């Protein structure tokens, strides 16, 4: 008898050997709750570790494994910072291994003269001899050759530990386990070759043959399952959404708002506003997506919509994905609406109980017509008197179901989603088939394109001088690091902030990342915004719509780790005023020519859509795991940009399926149930 794989995937991680309560907690903090969450941690890359090279066969700069007997071991330096050198020899030659900050190795009893070890690293010539820096090592008798995945660090675990844990997870996965969607895949001609779900997980985490092709197919299989669930939910939702709606055609308030704006609408804004006006007045429910590059001016268009509703005595609410963004919208909208005698309410998770009660009371009786907030808006005690319009900013950050939740707090509520994710039009149909599309291209006038330059990490000194000039002119600087914690490949937010503070003592450098409390995040941003903090070191959390107009420079560390679309969105944080903005992409040393060529596109193009498409072409399918570009919170594996073709294929061939609750719960754990 075959059993469904899903109950197993949804079991807590504590079922895995080696995961105790402390580690479980750490994993949970990263959103890794069940066994399936672990299995979706795809390897960074794969290592072909089948062969052992003799030392005379080593090639400079080419990663290899070799093996030898320890002939000497010595240390230089003091304390924990000691540098340990170990020399190995085989019949054909010798090599010296260098380990920095590795005092503990001196006392490691396994590493004594005469023991045979195997090492994997990049050999280089140094004073006529071979050496390797920080190779991966194992006792020769413990080494078993193979083709294996290499993981990034996770929740404080090294990549090696992750691999060990993954091996335990695989033991829990019966080969016989079945996904309800296995049969659906098999029935589609073009996907018939795909391995079933259980086998796909094995293929990815414990490949049977030394070949990337089956691994890529297995990844595609996982992604297909996610696409199917998504499209299924979307269709279901759309079928229910078509209905009559309030006619919104008031003119007075929108006109007054238009007149009060400091600049005329751009052509793109006018076009979008026309589409939307027509929808709102049609008597049918609007479900439209407003897509426009970062900084294109979507907020004003949103404000006009809200004025339409309010002008007619109805209510409008805007949902934002983060508290920081909700605060910012509330401030912007208040500035626009207060002079017209309208109040804008703000509701987030940090509202105190009393204030919250007061606000919901005003909403319930209709006294408050305009509201901005986070997920807090969706809770049951938020009841509107006569909601007519729901806006969802950065709508791609919400699940299919979530983006409809607000509309269910009224009758025939119009929906406007907003996004800066550059999705080609042909794709938008597949993804947002439940929505019409308005595209805003171009920028408000007077905006200068952000001057962009690549810089090798070894040339930080030049960068420091440039930063000092910006600071001297009163400008502010964003510094983006790829991750919160340090790992083998880079340093943490806090470490980078400390380093920069040392360089620029007067700058009051602050750190900002996703694990900070909402209040702390806001404090850091406020300090950056009011200028008391001059350099903000952050992970990509600032990507989401933050508007600090006096930020002049953004430095992006390890730029090669990002998709171009994402780099473009990050770059959009600067150059938000008349002053020239700058973006420095710091690249690792030894990048390939293709990698450099890809990044160089950033120097020339300033169009998000164009960059996304070019990136797709350049990277092609050769990328085993791939960089996620759009940082889609709603998706677990899919990337809207690089997986575009696959999503579209499924959209066009979507079979009549039903997707059970367990499967939905696995693939869309954050999509709240609204049915
Ligand atoms: P996004 O589309 O990324 O949400 P915003 O709505 O935050 O962009 O707008 C970015 C900036 O452009 C804001 O500072 C806003 O005041 C300004 N802006 C918007 N529309 C215009 C316009 N028509 N002319 C000049 N500046 C504008
Ligand atoms: Mg915005």
C-alpha of residue 298 to centroid of ligand 1, in Å:
7
Question: Does ligand 1 come within 6 angstroms of the Cβ of 296?
Answer: yes
Does residue 280 lie within any of the structural domains?
Answer: yes
How many Å apart are CA 654 and CA 357, to the nearest integer? 46
* pLDDT confidence band for 542 (50 / 70 / 90): low
Same-domain status, 521 and 599? yes
Does residue 508 lie within any of the structural domains?
Answer: yes
Same-domain status, 263 and 394? yes
Same-domain status, 246 and 332? yes
- CB-based contacts of 528, cutoff 8 Å, min separation 6: 476, 510, 534, 536, 548, 551
Least Cα distance to 585 among 416, 459, 407, 488 occurs for 459
Same-domain status, 434 and 462? no
Residues spanned by the domain of 172: 3-46+150-210
- What does the buried/exposed string (b/e) look like for 565-592 if buried means 16 or more CB atoms within 10 Å of the residue's CB? bbbbbbbbbbbbeebebbbbbbbbeebe
Question: Does ligand 1 come within 6 angstroms of the Cβ of 328?
Answer: no
Does residue 645 lie within any of the structural domains?
Answer: no
Same-domain status, 257 and 289? yes
Q: What Å distances lie between residue 666 and 7, 47, 228, 361, 628, CA to CA?
A: 9, 30, 13, 37, 20
The number of residues making up the chain comes to 675
Same-domain status, 159 and 119? no
CATH number, domain at 379? 3.40.50.300
Does residue 637 lie within any of the structural domains?
Answer: no
C-alpha of residue 431 to centroid of ligand 2, in Å:
20
Least Cα distance to 245 among 194, 300, 309 occurs for 309
Q: Which helix (H) or strand (E) segment is 273 a member of? A: helix 267-281
Same-domain status, 166 and 135? no
Question: Does ligand 1 come within 6 angstroms of the Cβ of 391?
Answer: no
Mutate to test the pocket of ligand 1, among 444, 545, 550, 608 (most ligand atoms within 8 A of CB): 444
What local confidence, expressed as pLDDT, does residue 152 receive?
85
Question: Does ligand 1 come within 6 angstroms of the Cβ of 300?
Answer: yes
pLDDT surpasses 80 at 256: yes
How many Å apart are CA 455 and CA 450, to the nearest integer? 16
Same-domain status, 33 and 67? no
> What pTM did the predictor assign?
0.69
Write the pLDDT tens digit of every residue in 199-243. 999 999 999 888 888 998 999 999 999 989 888 887 777 776 678
Last residue of a domain, one of 418, 440, 462: 440
Triad 514, 575, 520: Cα angle to 5°: 25
What local confidence, expressed as pLDDT, does residue 341 receive?
95
Q: What Å distances lie between residue 145 and 33, 81, 130, 405, 430, CA to CA?
A: 32, 32, 23, 52, 44
Q: What one-character DSSP code corresponds to residue 625? A: S
Write the pLDDT tens digit of every residue in 413-448. 999 999 887 766 656 666 776 678 898 988 888 888
Question: Does ligand 1 come within 6 angstroms of the Cβ of 294?
Answer: yes
**Atom 15 (ligand 1) nearest CA:** 297
CA 579, chain centre distance (Å): 29
Q: What one-character DSSP code corresponds to residue 457? A: G
pLDDT surpasses 50 at 675: no
Does residue 672 lie within any of the structural domains?
Answer: no
Same-domain status, 456 and 373? no
Last residue of a domain, one of 144, 170, 194: 144
CATH number, domain at 139? 2.40.50.140
What local confidence, expressed as pLDDT, does residue 674 receive?
33
Last residue of a domain, one of 111, 144, 177: 144
Question: Does ligand 1 come within 6 angstroms of the Cβ of 232?
Answer: no
**Atom 20 (ligand 1) nearest CA:** 297
Does residue 57 lie within any of the structural domains?
Answer: yes
Does residue 90 lie within any of the structural domains?
Answer: yes
Same-domain status, 405 and 341? yes
**What mean pLDDT is reported for the chain?**
87
Same-domain status, 132 and 23? no
Domain count for the chain: 4
**Atom 9 (ligand 1) nearest CA:** 297
Does residue 159 lie within any of the structural domains?
Answer: yes
Same-domain status, 27 and 65? no
């Amino acid at each position: 008898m075959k059993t469904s794989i899903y109950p197993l995937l949804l079991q807590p991680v504590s079922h895995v050997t080696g995961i105790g309560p402390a580690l479980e907690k750490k994993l949970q903090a990263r959103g890794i709750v069940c066994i399936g969450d672990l299995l979706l941690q795809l390897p960074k890359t794969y290592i072909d570790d089948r062969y052992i090279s003799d030392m005379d066969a080593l090639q400079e700069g080419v990663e290899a494994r070799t093996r030898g007997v320890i002939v000497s071991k010595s240390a230089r330096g003091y304390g924990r910072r000691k540098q340990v050198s170990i020399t190995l020899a085989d019949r054909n030659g010798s090599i010296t291994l260098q380990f920095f900050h590795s005092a503990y190795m001196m006392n490691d009893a396994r590493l004594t003269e005469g023991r045979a070890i195997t090492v994997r690293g990049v050999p280089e010539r140094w004073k006529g001899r071979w050496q390797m820096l920080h190779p991966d090592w194992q006792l020769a008798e413990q080494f078993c050759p193979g083709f294996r995945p290499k993981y990034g660090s996770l929740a404080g675990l090294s990549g090696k530990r992750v691999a060990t844990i993954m091996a335990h997870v695989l033991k829990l996965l019966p080969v016989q386990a079945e996904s309800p969607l296995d049969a659906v895949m098999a029935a589609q001609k073009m996907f018939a070759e795909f391995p079933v779900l259980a086998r796909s997980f094995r293929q990815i985490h414990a490949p049977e043959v030394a070949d990337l092709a089956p691994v890529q197919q297995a990844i595609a299989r996982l992604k297909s399952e996610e696409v199917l669930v998504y499209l299924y939910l979307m269709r279901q939702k759309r079928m229910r959404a078509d209905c009559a709606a309030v006619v919104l055609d008031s003119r007075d308030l929108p006109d007054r708002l238009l007149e009060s704006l400091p600049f005329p609408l751009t052509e793109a804004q006018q076009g979008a506003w026309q589409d939307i006006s027509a929808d709102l007045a049609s008597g049918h429910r609007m479900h439209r997506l407003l897509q426009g590059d970062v900084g294109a001016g979507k907020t004003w268009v949103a404000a006009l919509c809200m004025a339409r509703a309010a002008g007619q005595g109805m209510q409008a609410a805007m949902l934002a994905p983060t508290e920081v963004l909700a605060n910012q919208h509330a401030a912007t909208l208040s500035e626009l609406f207060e002079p017209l005698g309208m109040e804008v309410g703000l509701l987030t998770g940090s509202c105190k109980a009393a204030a919250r009660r007061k606000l919901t009371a005003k909403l319930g009786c209709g006294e408050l017509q305009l509201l901005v907030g986070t997920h807090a808006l969706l809770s049951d005690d938020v009841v509107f008197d006569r909601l007519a319009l729901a806006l969802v900013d950065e709508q791609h950050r919400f699940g299919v179901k979530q983006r409809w939740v607000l509309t269910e707090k009224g009758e025939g509520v119009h929906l406007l989603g907003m996004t800066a994710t550059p999705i080609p039009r042909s794709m938008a149909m597949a993804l947002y088939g439940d929505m019409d599309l308005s595209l805003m291209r171009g920028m408000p006038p007077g905006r200068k394109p952000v001057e962009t330059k690549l810089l090798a990490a070894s040339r930080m000194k030049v960068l420091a001088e440039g930063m000092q000039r910006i600071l001297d002119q009163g400008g502010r600087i964003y510094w983006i690091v790829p991750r919160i914690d340090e790992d083998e490949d880079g340093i943490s937010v806090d470490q980078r902030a400390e380093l920069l503070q040392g360089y620029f003592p007067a700058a009051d450098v602050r750190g900002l990342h996703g694990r900070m409390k909402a209040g702390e995040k806001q404090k850091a941003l406020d300090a950056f915004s009011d200028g008391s903090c001059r350099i903000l070191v952050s992970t990509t959390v600032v990507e989401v719509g933050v508007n600090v107009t006096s930020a002049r420079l953004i430095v992006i560390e390890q730029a090669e780790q990002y998709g171009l679309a994402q780099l473009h969105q990050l770059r959009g944080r600067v150059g938000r005023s008349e002053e020239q903005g700058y973006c420095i992409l710091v690249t690792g040393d030894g990048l390939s020519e293709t990698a450099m060529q890809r990044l160089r596109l950033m120097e020339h193009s300033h169009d998000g859509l164009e960059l996304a498409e070019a990136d797709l072409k350049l990277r092609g399918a050769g990328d085993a795991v791939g960089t996620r570009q759009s940082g889609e919170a709603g998706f677990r594996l899919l990337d809207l940009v690089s997986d575009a073709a696959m999503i579209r294929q499924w959209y066009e061939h979507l079979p009549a399926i039903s997707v059970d609750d367990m499967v939905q719960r696995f693939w869309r754990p954050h999509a709240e149930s609204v049915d």
